[in-house]
A and B are shown apart, each in its own frame.
Chain A
Amino acid sequence: MLNSFQHLQNTMNRINQKLKEDKKLLSIYFTAGYPDLNDTVQVIQDLEKSGVDMVEIGLPFSDPLADGPTIQESSTTALHNGMHTELLFEQLKDIRKTVQIPLIVMGYFNPMLQYGVEAFCKKCHEIGVDGIIMPDLPLDVYQNEYQAIYKKYGLVNVFLITPQTSDARIREIDEASDGFIYMVSSASTTGAKAGFGDTQEAYFNRISEMNLKNPQVVGFGISNAETFAHATQNAKGAIIGSAFIKHLTSHGVGKIDEFVSSIR
């Protein structure tokens, strides 16, 4: 049982603190165990040194439904390299000795379910992971079965919304969130579309006008300085995934600072 002091600490976890900073946040997604199995920690450390505000650590899955070819291939490679849930936790066990920025584990629900949802959350808490994004864990199942566990371990659960999400459902998701809302920029899988058109503009404006209690961080379709600036006009921050994976594929882990400094 966590005592009330710990609970207070947890409710003000690193994500919430970061969201209070007066700046647009740059968040980077990468696949754990990619390009090489033991690159995970170095990638996170270099991202922090390069000035990234938040990192999403992708737990690879064999059947990533929401991902386009770039992240799929990185997942396949990472699994082939030998990445698995327990190994990721092992790699991350000392991460808080060197890294201060918020860390979020992002993946698909089946590997979490097999590990055991409570065991998974407990491990995240012990390591110092601040939040979890499981796109295929639906809102109602989360609320009915797992919310209490997430809370117990002080983990922020991040939900996605898309241009097709109704206002009513966005309100519901806003109510259920206690960190930020992951705003998927277009009806697409990851890495599918580059740049934003009128549809995105209207969507960004619509969300902005809803005055949600949670800040929004935009993801999907952000690949460079221009799209980052555009996405963060209204939103609190933006997430880059596929473009960063492509950079890792071409340049390895040596030139992460070059990629980050090209964004802002």
Chain B
Amino acid sequence: MTYHANEKGYYGEFGGAFIPEMLYPNCEELRSNYLRIMAEPSFQEEFHQLLKDYVGRPTPLYFAERLSEKYQTKIYLKREDLCHTGAHKVNNTIGQILMAKKLGKNRIIAETGAGQHGVATATVCALMGIQCVVYMGEIDIARQAPNVARMKMLGAEVRSALSGSRTLKDATNEAIRDWINNPVDTHYIIGSVVGPHPYPDMVARFQSVISEEIKWQLKEKEGRENPDYVVACVGGGSNAAGTYYHYLDKPEVGIIAVEAAGKGIDTTESAATSALGKVGIIHGSKSLLMQTPDGQITEPYSISAGLDYPGVGPMHAHLFTSGRGEFISVTDDEAMTAGLEISQMEGIIPAIETSHAFAIFDHRKFEKEDVIVINLSGRGDKDLQTYIDYFKL
């Protein structure tokens, strides 16, 4: 039994490539080349050199002493918030921009919700001198102005997605439509472990540097590679996929996924896909998604713009339905409270996405000897206004 993708991009029953024929050549070109390109020594060398010198890896694995004391267990934080651009997203965009170059593409498109992936994409495009177009929902453009400005300053063109609900899922639709209209010169950098095969697997592999580092860092600190639990928040699920990756097939390591319950899973304002979703097709992949009984994809809600995606990546859908992963839903209020706590106990202001992961201690008890690694996926600068409004700071 493996929890990795098979050669057709399936995680159990989830994944695959449910795409219109117009996208088949694009995806096929990527599918038939990505593993070979990623295995090339020149690719690996450039990828790791950029992760080291440009992104600032390895990111520290930090023992959170005060937090551990409070919750009577051993808590380590994987500091992805210290990556260049402020989150794990850049691990993937570095990998994909190198992939695009190897495939001879000279134009990059991306979708973004809160703007983190858009900024990470605009950053690597500036680094490589490649044209960049980022699709962003009209509503998100209005509420994430600083990230829009960052992308523009980095030289990217930000295009407003005007269709549907004008948020992340619609930005993704627009990016896919752009790719249909520009199949030859353009590479689409998807920001999460979603989309048609090979994207979920490719993005997970680029993000797997997170768990690769956790292994040797934990060995140094605890004398063992395997923690008892790895914990991450899940929207689409890229930081989680990177955190779990090298532990997926190690049953002794517990996998905990934290979803955004928004105002509660018994309300209409939630993004907890495992609790509220059903099997279906979203953005070219079979997964769990929030939808009407009629199969129309619904608009999720979370206070965190990075978690309000109506689906999860197929890896996570499989972790959930197989029981390999433990899924916990955390409300806006619980996440905000946890974010404030980590700020004041450890001196780290986390992204609101990440704050969700810190709220698990309200939901679950751990043993004193347990070693828990939480992925601190991003820093909270981008969310300052939301924190200010929420806490009336």
Contacts and interface: CB of A to CB of B under 8 A. Distances in A.
Are A and B bound to each other? Answer: yes
Interface of A: 61-69, 72-73, 76, 79, 84-86, 108-115, 135-138, 141, 159-162, 164-166, 169, 184, 187-189, 192
A73 B163 CA distance: 8
Contacts, number: 117
The 8 closest A-B pairs by CB, nearest first: A114-B295, A111-B295, A135-B20, A160-B21, A164-B25, A62-B296, A66-B20, A84-B294
B190 to A, nearest CB: 13
A73 B16 CA distance: 28
Given A187-B180, A189-B180, A79 B21 contact: no
Given A72-B163, A164-B183, A85 B21 contact: no
* Residue picked from A61, A65, A135, A138, most chain B C-beta under 10 Å: A65
A110 B22 CA distance: 18
A162 B22 contact: yes
B24 A79 contact: no
Given A62-B164, A136-B20, A160-B21, A111 B180 contact: no
A244 B164 CA distance: 21
Nearest to A164: B25
B181 A136 contact: no
Interface of B: 16-25, 163-164, 169-170, 173, 176-177, 180-184, 278-284, 291, 293-298
B180 A63 contact: no
A262 to B, nearest CB: 27
15 contacts: A62-B164, A62-B296, A63-B173, A63-B282, A66-B20, A66-B22, A66-B180, A69-B163, A84-B296, A85-B295, A110-B297, A111-B296, A113-B281, A164-B22, A187-B180
Nearest to A159: B21
A110 B291 contact: yes
A115 B295 contact: yes
A189 B163 contact: no
Contact of A79 (B18, B25, B278, B296): B296
A161 B21 CA distance: 6
B181 A109 contact: no
Contacts of B173: 63-65
A62 B297 contact: yes
B181 A187 contact: yes
Given A113-B280, A138-B16, 19 more contacts: A65-B20, A65-B177, A66-B22, A66-B180, A108-B281, A109-B281, A111-B295, A112-B295, A113-B295, A114-B280, A114-B293, A138-B17, A159-B21, A160-B21, A164-B22, A164-B184, A169-B24, A187-B180, A187-B184
A66 B178 CA distance: 10
A84 B294 CA distance: 7
B181 A188 contact: yes
A79 B282 CA distance: 18
B67 to A, nearest CB: 40
Contacts of B280: 110, 113-114
Contacts of A192: 181
A187 B16 CA distance: 22
B281 A110 contact: yes
